Amino acid sequence: MGIGLLRKALSVPATSLGVCCAYDPGVLTMTTRKASILATAFCALVSLAAISRAQTTDAEDAAARAERWKALQEAIFGDRKVQDGSGVIELDVPPRALDAALVPVSLQLAGKKPIKGVYLVIDNNPSPLSAHFVFGPRADPRVLQVRVRVDEYTLMHAVAEGQDGKLYLAEKFVKAAGGCSAPAGFSEEQALQEMGRMKLRLIGDFAAGKPLQAQLMIRHPNFNGMQMNQITRFYTPARFIRSTEVTYDGSRIFHLDSDISMSTDPVIVFGFVPPARGTLKVAIQDSDDATFAHSFDVPQPPG
């Protein structure tokens, strides 16, 4: 992807200081208390007005969101056609997330089409292209789950790329705000101590040649560089996982390129097809070029 192009397509329009009107020396004729009483008195009228206004604003918001996605789509996929992904890809996100720093995203690629990979775009995050999965020969791409940070109310897009090169789109709106500046929940020292530890949990029973799901838990703060300390006013430097390669006996399950939108301590649920007993290997590289690797026996030894 041409990053320059992405920049150009999305350059923020330079607006003049449209904020000056707050300083407009308008005649102050009413005290706040009076205004409050009035506000209460006209409550019914206001609600009526709000209904019609809501429609205009929603329409404007929808237009702005569509425009943003159009620009992102062009920047990421160029002039390639992106078609409706019904029957190929499903995207599930809670409409209103409980924790904006930990929004669960579930992708279902249950169609019959062979899938090469999938892109996850969080439109209104400052760094919108959040994840790009590329599946390998050992993948069962039907189920994929990650957890992400959401900075403000946004559309989320998942684009599956078929082996035939065609692009299939799924879209959801999610209401969450502040996920990018939310703290990691522990100190930097603590995070760095445990960084790189991993756990793998198999979901279902192992049978050679049968699809199996796994939950991969990785200790990594994924500091996104946007978390401010209110006393020092310094930002915790960004340090995040850039790439995750998961293989089975040397053959790829998936490769993930990720960005600062991934949550702290990432949890990835994925499917794979083990042809026989073997070893699942995870290799991670982060933005400081630190690498972490771990091997797991499949099936897992008892206990």
Partner 1 sequence: MSASRDLPRAGALILILLGVSGLAAEPPSSAAPADEPADFWTGPINGPVPATLSGGAVIHAQELSELLKQGGVVLVDVSNLPHRPENLAPGAPWLPVPHRVIPGSVWVPGAGIGAIAPDIDVYFRDQLAQATRNDPDHPIVIYCHERCWLSWNGAKRAVRYGYRNVHWFPEGIEGWRAAGLDTVIAEPSTPSSGTPTP
User: Contacts with partner 1 in 52-71 (CB under 8 A)?
Assistant: 53-58, 60-61, 68
Residue (105 or 182) nearer to partner 1, CB: 182
The candidate with the shortest Cα–Cα distance to 96, out of 169, 182, 177, 170, is 177
Can you tell me the distance from the alpha carbon of 223 to that of 241, in angstroms, rounded to the nearest whole number?
A: 9
Measured from the CB atom, the residue of 49 and 293 that comes closer to partner 1 is: 49
- Residue found under tokens 């330079």: 14
- Choice between 42 and 206, CB closer to partner 1: 42
Going residue by residue from 121 to 140, which x/- string records binding to partner 1, judged by CB under 8 A?
Answer: ---x-xxxx-----------
Q: List the x/- string, 27-56, binding to partner 1 by CB under 8 A.
A: xxxxxx--xx-xxx-xx--xx--xx-xxxx
By CB under 8 A, the residues from 171 to 190 that bind partner 1 are 175, 177-183
| Cα dihedral value 265, 271, 277, 283, nearest 10 | -40
Give the nearer residue to partner 1 in terms of CB position, either 215 or 285: 285
Q: Which of 74, 90, 152, 249 binds partner 1 (CB under 8 A)?
A: 152
Provide, for the chain, the percentages of residues in helix, strand and coil under a 3-state DSSP scheme, each rounded to the nearest 5: 20, 35, 40
Stretch that binds partner 1, among 26-34, 103-111, 203-211, 261-269 (CB under 8 A): 26-34
Token output for 5 = 């192009």
Angle separating helix axes 43-77 and 32-41, nearest 10 degrees: 90
